[in-house]
Amino acid sequence: MKINTHTFSKDPLGKTEGIFCLKKVLCFLMCLSVSNSFSQAKLELKDAKQNFGTVKKGEVVKLDYEFTNTGTEPLIITEAEVSCSCTTVDFPKQPIAPNQSGKVVVSFDTKTVYDRQDRIVLLKSNDPKSPAKVRYKGSVLRK
């Protein structure tokens, strides 16, 4: 009785079995992921940090954050996450084409806060590095 010591073999059609087939599949998947990394949206903020200075309690501060899609695919902002109900965010609902710009407007209602404020808003999108952070800070004077 002869024991087969070969763990890998080729069939008559030239297909490889065993570990060689696995290597081909892994190579294909790596190439696929590399090619997809070049085709993506990219949200680039012009000024991600803003200071609104000093305002009186009860005022609503509006801050504009300009951005550009520097990627090769349309950018879609899906959600804006805020830390408190004193902040609302208005962002474009339609896709932003490559090399096009848009604006996110953050409104901060100071009627329930006072003293120094430092807040972050997370912008979730189809950018692989999502979420993008915008930050604002300033002081709110008591009445």
| Positive or negative torsion for Cα 27, 29, 35, 37 | negative
For residue 37, give the H/E element and its range.
Answer: helix 19-37
Domain limits, the chain = 1-38, 43-141
Query: Rounded to an integer, what distance in angstroms lies between the CA atom of residue 36 and that of residue 15?
Result: 27
Query: Rounded to an integer, what distance in angstroms lies between the CA atom of residue 104 and that of residue 76?
Result: 13
The neighbour count for residue 107, using CB atoms within 10 Å, is 13
Class in CATH terms, 43-141: mainly beta
DSSP state of 97: P
The mean per-residue pLDDT over the stretch 56-69 comes to 98
Give per-residue pLDDT as tens, 11-60.
Answer: 555 555 555 556 666 666 665 555 455 679 999 999 999 999 999 999 99
**The pLDDT value given to residue 28:** 63
For residue 29, give the H/E element and its range.
Answer: helix 19-37
Give per-residue pLDDT as tens, 123-138.
Answer: 999 999 999 999 999 9
Q: What average pLDDT does the structure give for the chain?
A: 86
**The pLDDT value given to residue 134:** 98
The mean per-residue pLDDT over the stretch 104-124 comes to 97
